[in-house]
Amino acid sequence: MSAADSYAELVAATNFSFLRGAAHPQHMVLTALLLGQTGLGIADRNTVAGVVRAHCALKDLRADGVPPPEKLRDGSGPGEYVFVEHPLTGKMPVSRDELRRMACDFKLVVGARLVFADGTPDIVAYPVDRAGWGRLCRLLSIGKRRGKKSECILRVDDLLADPSGLLLIVMPPRRLDGLPSLLDRLASAAPGAVWLAAAMHRRGDDRRRLARLRGVAGAAAVPLLAVNDALYDEPGARDLQDILTCIREKVTIDRAGRRLEVNAERYLKRPAEMARLFRDAPDAVAETQHLLARIDFSLDDLRYDYPDEPVPPGWEAADWLEEVTWRRAAMRYPGGLPDRVKAQLEEELALIKRLQYERYFLTILDIVRVAEDKGILCQGRGSAANSAVCYVLGITAVDPAENDLLFARFVSTERREPPDIDVDFEHERREEIIQHIYEKYGRDRAGIVATVISYRPRSAMREVGKALGLTADVTSRLASTQWGSWGNEIRDAHVRQAGLDPDNPLIRQALGLAGRLLGFPRHLSQHVGGFVLARGRLDELVPIGNAAMKDRTFIEWDKDDIDALELMKVDVLALGMLTCIRKSFDLLHRHGIGDYALHDIPRDDPAVYDMLCKADSLGVFQVESRAQMNMLPRLKPRELYDLVIQVAIVRPGPIQGDMVHPYLKRRAKLEDVTYPSPAPEHGPADELYQVLNKTLGVPLFQEQAMRMAMVAAKFTDPEANQLRKAMATFRHVGTIGHFEEMMVERMVRRGYERAFAQRFFEQIKGFGSYGFPESHAASFAKLVYISSWIKCHHPAVFACALLNSQPMGFYAPAQIVRDAQEHAVEVRPVDINHSLHDCALEERDDGALALRLGFRQVDGLGEEAGTALTERRGLGYSSVEELARRTRLPLRILRRLADADAMRSLGLDRRDALWAVRRLPNDAPLPLFAAADACELGDEPPADLAPMRLGEHVAADYQTVRLSLKAHPMGMLRPIFAAERIATCAGTSAMPNGAAARTAGIVLVRQRPGNGNAIFITLEDETGVTNVVLWARLFERFRREVMAARVLLVEGEVQKSPEGVVHLMAHRVFDRTEVLKQLSDTHDVTLELSRADEFNHPQHPRGPSSHPRNVRILPRSRDFH
């Protein structure tokens, strides 16, 4: 290639030009590189959201010579990612070394394509230096802050105000009328930094147009620049780009017409081809190199500092952190600082100082302190959170003395990974913290990290189907087929299963396009709570825009971008359990039981562990799911670290890596705990013991897998990093094979047995990226313990706080109330004369606390009404009319109260109360009567209504408060079932292993965990619960029953584990929902499934109204057995 043929595409869009660009940034970089271009300019429409990915791709190519896999989110928990390899991986046309060399010579420039709202032609802007980058970011921030979410309203004057440090490429519009004057204005504002772009898109008049542009450029003394205005990497992407256009324009493909591109010319072309196309203007091609040479900016230049605020004047950050640490340590350990903790603090402080992370810790301390002042509970977790420093600073409640988690182990000095601390706050009050941060640091210095919302199988299929004009039915069928995971091809069998013909060309086409659309970004949204705070202006680092939520602003980069650029962030997250614990503490205080804080709950209480060993954990943080409850009696936790393991073990990683059973066996002392050693000359015999001793030699945590590779196979940091990436995509035999050999051989060389090395590799392979980090598990375990302690010792308090924190957790109020009753708590019904808005505790004559349900349990009753009822109650309401008169509540609300049977203290049951309430006049009281404050209703003969039967009451209770204290529906129906000789749940549990049983109950939860071999159904009756297991094969036969039944009859065999865990293996199931009619022939009994039900709530248990951003729950637990 001659120098004259050197070309770099300087106007390239990626798929971050949402619904326009049709290629990932990584692919654009790789393709440009392989085509022999000397560089590439990425410029998306009013955004720099995609540039970090392009930047990282190039970095990886320079380092590894292998294109990086694409990282896609597969859930909302830590580590829930799927990696998809580049399609060319393994069949690259050049060798790795060659590619590495090419990558080193390749120059990536990043900028943005400014699209103006005032009719000015698009202008592509590239910063020449850090200052220019700052200007571009500010410019985009100005535009973004003007508009709503996802909008950017820019005017050319915004650019002209100060274009210094920017190189500007004017994209000529179809008609060139206004171009000369624009060029003049730009050229005088930014002398020597303006180009006029020309493209040859085979539109027929290309050459004539080129000549004309040349004239215009010449007249303005602006150089002409050859571009191809690329929208995708290779011409085959045209169909996908057309589909994107259809999605954007909301039309079907056959109606899109001229909104589509006329041909497929907007791909990255070979330099020789560009030179040929521009043979009339070779200088325009050469100009690309001049422009490229002018730019001296890379994203690596972005340096970033934590704010100064937390450091008082006159102090250095490091000194201040030390000062605060020691000061607070003395407070934390009033009995004197243990030597071990002192030593650890010293070690950690030294490490922090070396890595210059002081400001990071101080910033988090500052936020935590604000929460303390406001009385909001919070707790940190993450690698850096498990430090003695964090404990003494009050960021976590995990005492390092109690728990030998080593902070230094997780903060790698060499890798310089940014420290990671997530702070959870009470979910109802987190917004206060967020607003405090904005207030304190200002919106130009604080911003929430973005989350890139990408096309997932369903959404991709839906949009493609719509664009291709498939009927909604076909589209939704395709969308609901089981795709397997990302990047997997949808199998013909699945299509057939959906009742469609996989050979139908249209279906093929739709599947193919949807597969390619997978992982394309759709838009940016705000992260659940990741904050970036800057010392200087944040908007000179990255553009900031408005979020959909009021008073929220967020930056354009997501968590991975931030990590890649080694910027630090603080995660401010919401956790429902903290709200519950705070409410429990308040109740304990109010009823004079005691004053508690997170860190001073009595430790190692055997009663608490006894309770957990019985799987009595309903409502307890993290371990309340069916799968966790099954594990508790097997794991038999006796100390806090057991809970750390309990939290992490019921996860896909350990399950798929087959580590659960070995661990349980070792724990039950059925198997010896051994630690293979290397040959003596290669290292200490206990090197693996150091890594694995706390988990009895079985790797259970994410950290352990990497740690083992580094210790046993002596992987270097970069190697371990590559392994991590490769592990995630292990299905591609090519890359993993390489690591397998490397790891096994190295371990064998170091004296490990080959069989062990092999088995160990299989284990961490299964682990993939699904392991759960110990650093998070430790903080969660603390909350497991605290919530268990409250439940164990103060069940009424716990139930009350839990009800008042709804929606959260796995269980519906009905189950929480029932659980409280089983723990000897008296539960009292909602009543206008006794209830508060929230559930409350009432002292009984015997001194015990009874739980009084609050008005919040009544459907359709807002806090305002609840408060009005309480405030105007005085000495109590004596009649319906008095109630209406004093509260002035709308009739609608009074009717609901009557309907909820909340007027028993007036001597009225539901029916009588309704009859009375309905008689109240519809509107405000007549003025005359209001003045007299007297009764305006005359006498009326008695109505003689038929009394309401108990069954109807129960049905109505479920309709109005979703639970009934009067009777369990199954209890009322017991005679029917007893006559059929159907056992109760308790009866079934009492049966011996292998007995045949027939049990019926209300369906609480249905789960189809992990590999989907079995369906788990939890049934409830008046005596307890039965856990039913239904094999998938049978599920297909009984699908309708399982999916539709609210009352299910199961025939099967009882299976009892040595620990006493009972399952009913179903052989046949029957839908017995119709028996509910026996309760009431006119009232449907609306039974609520628990929020853990996976079929109704396929994602995570979360409140019906809460936005996913407000909750961050652990990775979905997978049941297993």
Partner 1 sequence: MTAYPLPTPRRYLALWFPFLPAERRERAATEAGVWPADAPLVLTDSVKGARRLAAVSRKALKLGLSPGLTLADARAAVPHLLALDHDPAADAALIDRVLDDCLRWTPLVALDPPHGLMLDITGCAHLFGGETATRERVLHRLRGGRFTVRGSIAGTPDAARALARFGRVALVAPGGEAQAVRPLPITALELSDETTTALRRAGFKRIADLADRPSAPLTGRFGTELTTRLTRLLGREDRRITPSRPLPACVVEQAFAEPIGHADAIARVLRALIERACAHLEERGEGGRAFEASFLRVDGVVRHIIARTGRPVRDADTVTRLFRERIEALADPLDPGYGFDLVRLALSVTEPLESLQPDLDGKAIEADEVADLIDRLTARFGAVRVLRFVAADTHDPVRVARLVPATSQMPDQGGGRAIASASWMRPEPGEPPPRPLRLFEPPQAVEAVAEVPDGPPIRFRWRGALHDVARAEGPERLLTEWWRGHDRPARDYYRIEDGQGRRFWLFREGFYGGDASPRWYLHGLFA
Which of 71, 436, 661, 895 forms a contact with partner 1 (CB under 8 A)?
A: 895
Beta carbons of 427 and 808 less than 8 angstroms apart: yes
Q: Which stretch binds partner 1 (CB under 8 A): 43-51, 130-138, 237-245, 1056-1064?
A: 237-245
Q: Considering the complex, what minimum distance in angstroms separates the CB of residue 1013 from partner 1?
A: 18
Query: Three-class SS of residue 263?
Result: coil
**Residue from the set 359, 725, 910, 998 that interacts with partner 1 by CB under 8 A:** 910
CB of 945 to partner 1, least distance (A): 5
CB of 905 to partner 1, least distance (A): 19
Q: Which of 122, 242, 556, 1022 binds partner 1 (CB under 8 A)?
A: 242
Q: Candidates 235-243, 364-372, 692-700, 786-794: pick the segment binding partner 1 (CB under 8 A).
A: 235-243
The mark string for 1043-1062 relative to partner 1 (x by CB under 8 A, - otherwise) is: xx------------------
In the region spanning residues 913 to 932, those forming contacts with partner 1, defined by CB under 8 A, are: 914-915, 918-919
Does 205 interact with partner 1 (rule: CB under 8 A)?
Answer: yes
Q: Counting contacts by CB under 8 A, is residue 943 touching partner 1?
A: yes
Burial class of 279 by CB neighbour count within 10 A (0 to 12, 13 to 18, 19+): exposed
Shortest Cβ 231–partner 1 spacing (Å) = 15
**Whole-angstrom Cα distance, residue 112 to residue 127?**
9
Tell me the closest approach of the beta carbon of residue 908 to partner 1, in angstroms.
Answer: 13
Q: Buried b / exposed e across 167-176, counting CB within 10 Å, b at 16+?
A: bbbbbbeeee
* Residues 6 or more apart in contact with residue 1058 via CB below 8 angstroms: none
- For the bound state, the minimum distance from the C-beta of residue 982 to partner 1, rounded and expressed in Å, comes to 22
Rounded distance, CA 142 to CA 155, Å? 10
* DSSP code per residue over 162-183: --TTEEEEE---SS-TTHHHHH
Please report, as residue ranges, which positions from 260 to 319 form the binding site for partner 1 (by CB under 8 A).
260, 262-265
Question: In angstroms, rounded to a whole number, what is the distance separating the alpha carbons of residues 1018 and 1062?
Answer: 12
Which lies closer to partner 1 via its Cβ, residue 239 or residue 560? 239
> Could you tell me which stretch among 27-35, 258-266, 484-492, 1012-1020 binds partner 1 (CB under 8 A)?
258-266
Name 286's Cβ contacts closer than 8 Å, sequence gap at least 6.
4, 6
**From 148, 303, 1039, 1107, residue interacting with partner 1 (rule: CB under 8 A):** 1039
For partner 1, which is the closer residue by CB, 955 or 1061?
A: 955
CA distance 772 to 744: 24
- Closer to partner 1 by CB, 264 or 853: give it: 264
The sign of the CA dihedral 158, 164, 166, 168 is: positive
Nearer to partner 1 by Cβ, of 232 and 760: the residue is 232
The three-class DSSP label of residue 700 is: coil
Alpha helices of 872-984 — where are they, by DSSP H?
A: 880-887, 891-899, 910-919, 927-932, 950-961, 969-972, 974-979
Q: Is 1116 exposed, middle or buried (0-12, 13-18, 19+ CB in 10 A)?
A: buried
Is residue 906 involved in binding partner 1 (CB under 8 A)?
no
Q: Write out the two tokens for 826.
A: 């008296």
Map residues 1094-1113 to x or -, x wherever contact with partner 1 holds by CB under 8 A. -x------------------
Give the list of residues 6+ apart from residue 443 with CB closer than 8 angstroms, or none.
Answer: 544, 553
Strand partners, 379: 424
Quick check: 334 binds partner 1 (CB under 8 A)?
A: no
Min dist. Cβ of residue 87 to partner 1 (A): 20
Q: Which stretch binds partner 1 (CB under 8 A): 113-121, 197-205, 632-640, 812-820?
A: 197-205
Nearer to partner 1, 851 or 1034 (CB): 1034
Q: Which of 98, 105, 118, 254 binds partner 1 (CB under 8 A)?
A: 254
Contact residue for partner 1 among 2, 3, 91, 208 (CB under 8 A):
208
Binding flag, residue 175, partner 1 (CB under 8 A):
yes
Q: How far is the CB of 642 from partner 1 (least distance, A)?
A: 38
Comparing C-alpha atoms, which of 541, 548, 542, 550 is closest to residue 524? 548
Q: Which of the ranges 247-255, 335-343, 359-367, 441-449 carries the binding residues for partner 1, by CB under 8 A?
A: 247-255
Tell me if residue 392 falls in helix, strand or coil.
helix
Is 1078 a binder of partner 1 (CB under 8 A)?
A: no
Please select the residue that binds partner 1; options are 1, 330, 472, 932, rule is CB under 8 A: 472
- Phi, psi (5° rounding) for residue 541? -100, -40
Question: What are phi and psi for residue 1068, nearest 5 degrees?
Answer: -140, 145
Nearest-angstrom CA–CA distance, 690 and 402: 18
Query: Are the beta carbons of 962 and 924 closer than 8 angstroms?
Result: no
Name residues whose C-beta falls within 8 Å of residue 303's C-beta, 6 or more positions apart in sequence. none
Burial class (CB in 10 A: 0-12, 13-18, 19+), 314: exposed
Q: Does 503 bind partner 1 (CB under 8 A)?
A: no
1082 interacts with partner 1 by CB under 8 A = yes
Give yes or no for residue 946 binding partner 1 (CB under 8 A). Answer: yes
> CB under 8 A: which stretch of 396-404, 446-454, 642-650, 1075-1083 binds partner 1?
1075-1083
- Applying CB under 8 A, the span of 19-27, 469-477, 586-594, 744-752 interacting with partner 1 comes to 469-477
- Residue closer to partner 1, measured from CB, 126 or 483: 483
Q: CB under 8 Å to 645, separation ≥6 — which residues?
A: 635, 637, 663, 695, 700, 777
CB neighbours of 719 closer than 8 A, spacing ≥ 6? Answer: 709, 742
Using CB under 8 A, which of 948, 1019, 1047, 1069 touches partner 1? 948
Which region among 409-417, 703-711, 927-935, 1078-1086 touches partner 1 (by CB under 8 A)?
1078-1086
Residue 4 to residue 641: CA distance in whole angstroms? 67
The interface region with partner 1, picked from 376-384, 740-748, 910-918, 1046-1054 by CB under 8 A, is: 910-918
Q: Is 239 in the site for partner 1 (CB under 8 A)?
A: yes
Antiparallel, parallel or unpaired: β 544-546 and 224-227: unpaired
Instruction: Name the residue among 538, 769, 773 with its Cα closest to residue 647.
Output: 773
Are β-strands 422-426 and 70-73 bridged in parallel, bridged antiparallel, or unpaired?
Answer: unpaired
Q: Is 597 in the site for partner 1 (CB under 8 A)?
A: no
C-alpha angle with apex 320: 319 to 321, nearest 5 degrees?
95
Rank residues 137 and 880 by Cβ distance to partner 1 and give the closer one.
Answer: 880
Query: Taking CB under 8 A as the rule, does residue 253 contact partner 1?
Result: yes
Are 828 and 850 in contact by the 8 Å Cβ rule? The answer is yes
Give dist(CA 715, CA 326) in Å, integer. Answer: 37
Tell me the number of residues near partner 1 by CB under 8 A. Answer: 55
- Comparing CB distances to partner 1, the nearer of 480 and 821 is 480
Could you tell me the smallest distance in angstroms from the CB atom of residue 473 to partner 1?
A: 5
Q: How many CA atoms lie within 13 A of 75 on its CB side?
A: 20
Q: What are the CA-CA distances from residue 633 to residues 235, 623, 670 (Å)?
A: 60, 12, 16
Is 859 one of the binding residues for partner 1 (CB under 8 A)? no
Residue range at the interface with partner 1 (CB under 8 A); choices 254-262, 347-355, 634-642, 804-812: 254-262
Q: Per rule CB under 8 A, is residue 476 in the interface with partner 1?
A: yes
CA distance 632 to 621: 13
Q: Which of 257, 336, 606, 847 binds partner 1 (CB under 8 A)?
A: 257
Q: Return d(Cα 193, Cα 1102) in angstroms, integer.
A: 53
Tokens standing for residue 368: 């935590």
Of the residues 89, 480, 488, 1106, which one makes contact with partner 1 according to CB under 8 A: 480
Q: Binding residues for partner 1, per CB under 8 A?
A: 174-175, 202-205, 207-208, 238-239, 242, 253-260, 262-265, 468, 471-473, 476, 480, 499, 505, 509, 895, 899, 910-911, 914-915, 918-919, 940, 943, 945-946, 948, 956, 959, 1039-1040, 1043-1044, 1081-1083, 1095
